[in-house]
Amino acid sequence: MNRNMLRHALPAALLLGALGLATPAQAGDDAVEAALGDHFAFESYSGGGVRPEQITPDLWERFVVIDTRDAGQYEEDHIPGAEHIEWRQVLNERDRIPEDEPVLLYCNTSSLSAQAALALRMTGYDNVKILAGGFDAWKAKGGFEAYKQAE
């Protein structure tokens, strides 16, 4: 399946599944299953996530940081410089997400941002990472100073 076909098939399958409208036949779509199989066959355990203490100041400058939490949480507090795209909207808003720069997604604990990252990776974004432990871990480990714990 080519990338363009996957860009159309996967969002539809994910949407149907999220809405609980997928029939067993749709849920078992060969193209979606093949794409997921390919993804999981080649994804490493650490390939999709980065811990707060692994991000040095120079890496923060290179990342496009996206807060995938809801608008209220973003307005209350967020990583300075982060853009806001709620996790459910990443496919609809992917024109705001660069394909040629490193992207770091986060939510509170990394569970919802992991879903957003998977959807983006399945639609061709190979530059997306998640902040392991999310915003909670980032704050608990010292924010931008978390890298000092790894020294």
pLDDT of 70 strictly over 70: yes
By residue range, what is the domain housing residue 113?
45-150
If asked whether residues 134 and 80 sit together in one domain, one would say yes
Q: Does 128 lie in the same domain as 76?
A: yes
Q: Would strands 64-67 and 49-50 be described as parallel, antiparallel, or unpaired?
A: unpaired
The structural domain count of the chain equals: 2
Q: In this predicted structure, which of 10-19, 39-48, 91-100, 129-138 has the lowest mean pLDDT? A: 10-19
77 and 123 both lie in a single domain: yes
Task: Quickly state the pLDDT bin for 42 (edges 50, 70, 90).
Answer: low
In this predicted structure, what is the pLDDT of residue 41? Answer: 55
Q: Can you tell me the distance from the alpha carbon of 80 to that of 87, in angstroms, rounded to the nearest whole number?
A: 18
What is the domain-level CATH number for residue 133? 3.40.250.10
Same domain, 34 and 106: no
pLDDT at 43: 52
| pLDDT over 70 at 11, yes or no | no
**pLDDT per residue as tens digits for the range 99-136:** 999 999 999 999 999 999 999 998 999 999 999 999 99
The CA-CA-CA angle for residues 136, 82, 150, to 5°, reads: 50
Burial class (CB within 10 angstroms; exposed 0-12, middle 13-18, buried 19+) of 11: middle
Q: How many separate helices (H) and strands (E) can be counted in the chain?
A: 7, 5
Q: What is the pLDDT of residue 23?
A: 47
Indicate if 49 and 109 belong to the same structural domain.
yes
More confident residue, 52 or 41: 52
Residues 97 and 143 in one domain: yes
| 38 and 54 inside one domain | no
Q: Locate 48 and state its tokens.
A: 């999709």
* Final residue in a domain of this structure, among 10, 26, 42: 42
Q: Based on the domain organization, do 79 and 104 belong to the same domain?
A: yes
